Structure 1
Amino acid sequence: MKLKKIALGTLAVLAIAGTAGWYSLDKETRGLIATVPTNKDLLFWSQPQRDAAFRALDRISLLAKWHDIPAGNAPSALPPGPPLKLPLDVDAYLAGQRSAALIVLHDGKLRLERYGLDFDSKGRWTSFSVAKSITSTLVGAALRDGSIRSMDDKVSDYIPEMKGSAYDDVSIRQLLTMTSGVKWNEDYADPKSDVAQFNNHKPEEGVDALVSYMRKLPREVPAGTRWLYSTGETNLVGILVNRATKKPLATYLSEKIWVPAGMEQKATWILSKTGQEISGCCIQAAPRDFARFGQFILNGATVGGKPIVPEGWLEQATTSRTPIGQSGRGYGYQWWTYDTGAFTARGIFGQGIFIDPKRKLVIASNGDWGGGARDPSASAAREAFYLAVQKAVDDEGAAGAGGGAGK
């Protein structure tokens, strides 16, 4: 495959894969991607650069390498349902979210599907930390398969390079709930934070880049005594699953979920500099397949009526295992939880999969928030949207029940 090199002023040189997929992007998008600096973390790209690149991270060949996640030949149906009647201006909501995609499934039926930012159903948008919840599900699959013996096994049982580090006596359960007690800085606005630095770390010879970085971190408090959000810890989870299953995460995800659960399109997973999927981030998938993953979880992580995780494990994963200092909220096994029984996968810049088992709801969203990675106003608007959808479904149910009683 030939590579074209594009030099633009003082920006770093990019090599762009000359594939049909690359040339399927419009000229303006290709031009914007060509300005993406390879020497700067994506957290600090301009908004136009993010708009262009979030739909094409797996087509910027020197910025990142990736593994394919193959889909099967029998996509699961998403039958249309009646349009969802919402007490809000959906167009205004999409604009405020800078949304690339928004899908609502109710009882397995497609009730709302909208796109923005010149994106559509055939493209792949990056997930950011939505990948954490997918990685967590692979832990459950590895437990059921017997590749992982117990949630109380130590990290160093599977990653011997962590022996002698602060993670030596941390359990898989504590890693999944982010209660390791190890120091970490997840400040997306700080270029010197751990989350901005770890992927640029030069590893020791023969050691995975992430392992090399994480095993040098100090302990702050005893394991199990404090919750602290850490993308690095999810990346350790991914390495652990890789070591346990002896398979690349992309292969394992395809075998356990992507093919049997009926995803429609192949997805991709960005790799670290040492060739390991960055499991706390960066699965590129079609919006409908993100929604299908939510439906798969809503259906109990089952394929053909058979769960891929141990009995009772998914309930533990999707209900609070540790408080996070917010009323009515908690954290499970890489899922954000609500005391109402709903739970969500969340990624920076507006990525999300919200699941409400009580109402049989899945809401999948992709975007590029204009106010930054965590954008508090956009986040609050999204929570309000979830509530509006829940209320609309409740109102439909109440109207249906009232109509039935009157007959």
Structure 2
Amino acid sequence: MTETSPDPTVPAAPVIDKDNWQDADNVRWSFQHVDQVLPTTPISRGTGPVAQLPVDLQDLGSVEVPKTEFSAARSVRSVIEDSDTDAWMVMHNGTVVTEEYFSTMRPDTEHLLMSVSKSLVGTVAGVLVGAGDLDPNRLITDYVPELASSGYAGATVRHILDMRSGIKFSENYLDPKSEVRQIEESIGWSESTPESRPKGMYEFLTTLEAKSEHGGVYEYRSCETDVLGWVCEKIAGESMQTLMSRVLWSRIGAERDALIATDQYGVGMFDGGINTTLRDLARFGYLHANRGVSLTGEQVAPTSWIGDTLTGDVDTRQAFADGPDDNRMPGGMYRNQFWFPFPDSHAFLALGIHGQMIYMNPGANFVGVKLSSWGLPQDAAKLFPTIRAFDALAKAVSAPVVD
């Protein structure tokens, strides 16, 4: 494990509030101190033993990353250093082969995951499906009748798992009037305007309208995960914090409680509010690279759910290709709150804005995790070289040793 000295240019405790915590100059500090900016509640690790992480550190910085449309071929070290990395880790066959922290980030620092949170919520849904409590083909309103008068009427749970509802929801983070910004104002993630009074997560979701038929093309919408979280809470009769602890976080051998940012009523920000340490996020990633079995040896996510995530439906990739978003993952798909960037590959991702990532490759028994503080919410010139870097590392550590 490598830790660099604190960067003297990074202020120890800048003046940060709901107006500026997501500004480019502040994200490095705020992503590591969310509990000082927003209300949070713990997701308990439970009382079980910590799953130990064997360590066999290797110098992987010189591994070559193939060229992308954004850069020539270069080293892994170059990619990591040029993409505002706070910490990163590589696991192979359950052993840590790289672990590195930068600036003020430390092994016990809980870092905001942004939309990587979606993959944790999707996994909770998968556990409920495996238990027979959740049917992806049933209507959302069967579980959450409060949405009967919203645009979600007629949509199924499968539609929101794969981001294929017909809901009107702009994900343009730079547009102050977009729905993704409205939801932040509604739950208190940013200062509200008279037009977007704080109303809480649940009330905001009831105001969303449909723009097209459900079950059509893929379109990324953070609200889908928030509805999914509400469905899970209704089924379980408990908060996501309690539910996630019970069915997921307490079963992976986590070292620390996770945190989730909440609205003013204590409802979690399911689509982007979870905070974890680097090591615990790697433990979560390992679960998915190992057919749902955690480092504790427990079958946490059903094998059938992992298989469904890896294969999708007959039209999942086509729905992804036909979506309105700028598709830089040709041949890929979005399934069960995970991204598949390559055709004919089971390597898949959990992604969050500002550079949060888990790369999972079951065929190589490989997990790569990267926590970052990009200045921009979305930055393809940093995202795709990082994906290619982890892909190159998966091949490098899995290659046979030649005597």
Determine if the TM-score, normalized by the shorter chain, exceeds 0.5: yes
Counterparts of residues 86-125 of structure 1 (less than 5 Å):
86-88=62-64, 89-125=75-111
> Which residue of 2 is the match for residue 10 of structure 1?
none
> Which aligned pairs between 1:42-61 and structure 2 lie closer than 5 A?
42-43=21-22, 45=23, 47-60=24-37
Counting only pairs closer than 5 Å after superposition, residues 4-403 of structure 1 correspond to structure 2 as: 29-32=11-14, 34=15, 36-39=16-19, 42-43=21-22, 45=23, 47-60=24-37, 63-85=38-60, 86-88=62-64, 89-148=75-134, 150-201=135-186, 209-302=200-293, 307-321=299-313, 322-323=316-317, 324-325=320-321, 326-337=329-340, 338-339=342-343, 340-370=345-375, 372-394=376-398, 396-397=399-400, 399-400=401-402, 403=403
**How big is each residue's C-alpha offset from its partner over 1:134-174, in whole Å with a ceiling of 9 and x where there is no partner?**
100100112233332x1111111111111122211110010
- C-alpha displacement of 1:178: 0.7
- The Cα offsets for residues 71-107 of structure 1, whole Å up to 9 and x where unpaired, read as 4341112111251544254543332111111100011
Q: 1:308 to 1:87 in 2, by over 3 A?
A: closer
CA RMSD of aligned residues (A): 2.3
Which gives a bigger RCO, structure 1 or 2 (Cα 8 Å, sep 6+)?
Answer: 2
User: Which amino acid letter does the alignment assign opposite residue 331 of structure 1?
Assistant: Y
- Structure 2: tracts of 5 or more residues without a match: 1-7, 65-74, 189-197, 322-328
1:186 and 1:224 map into 2 onto residues whose CA distance is 19
Q: Take 1:369 and 1:202, find their aligned partners in 2: how far apart are those partners?
A: 23
Distance 1:93 1:309, change over 3 A: closer
Closer, same or farther: CA 294–315 of 1 in aligned 2, 3 Å: same
Distance 2:297 2:102 in 1: 36
Distance 1:28 1:143 in 2: 45
Over 3 Å counting, the alpha-carbon distance change for 1:27 and 1:68 in structure 2 is farther
Q: CA offsets per residue over residues 334-382 of structure 1, 9 Å max, x none?
A: 0001331111100011101100011110001100113x11111111221
Greater than 6 Å deviation, 4+ residue runs: none
What SS class does the counterpart of residue 291 from structure 2 fall into?
coil
Specify whether residues 252 and 186 from structure 1 end up closer, same or farther in structure 2 by C-alpha distance, changes over 3 A only: same
Alpha-carbon distance change, 382 to 28 in structure 1, aligned in 2, over 3 angstroms = closer
Identity, % of aligned pairs?
24
1:279-306 Cα offsets, whole Å, 9 max, x none, are: 1112111100000101112222235655
Deviations 1:217-254 (CA, angstroms, capped at 9, x unpaired): 22222111121101111011111111110122122222
**Matching residue's letter, 2:224:** E
1: CA distance, partners of 2:301 / 2:285: 15
Q: TM-score, normalised by structure 1?
A: 0.83
Give the aligned residue type for 2:115.
S
- Cα distance in 2 between the residues matched to 1:288 and 1:137: 18
CA shift in 2, pair 1:202/1:58, >3 Å = closer
The residue type paired with residue 143 of structure 2 is Y
> What TM-score results when the alignment is normalised by the length of structure 2?
0.83
Whole-angstrom CA distance in 1 between matches of 2:373 and 2:211: 34
Change (3 A) 1:219 1:159: same
Q: SS state of the match for residue 146, structure 1? A: coil
Q: Within 1, Cα distance between the matches of 2:279 and 2:11?
A: 22
Counterpart of 1:8 in structure 2 is none
Contact 2:292 2:302 in 1 (8 A): no
Separation of aligned partners in 2, 1:245 and 1:294: 24
Rg: which structure is higher? Answer: 1
Aligned-partner Cα distance in 2 for 1:143–1:269: 23
Does structure 1 retain, via aligned residues, the 8 Å contact 2:45–2:253?
no
Q: Distance between the aligned counterparts of 2:97 and 2:46, measured in 1? A: 24
Measure, in 2, the Cα distance between the counterparts of 1:213 and 1:369.
28
Deviation of 1:320 (Å): 4.1
CA change 1:354–1:226 in 2 (3 A) is same
- Does the C-alpha gap of structure 1 residues 169 and 94 become closer, same or farther in structure 2, counting only changes over 3 Å? same
Instruction: Please give the alpha-carbon distance, in whole angstroms, between the structure 2 residues aligned to 1:186 and 1:296.
Output: 29
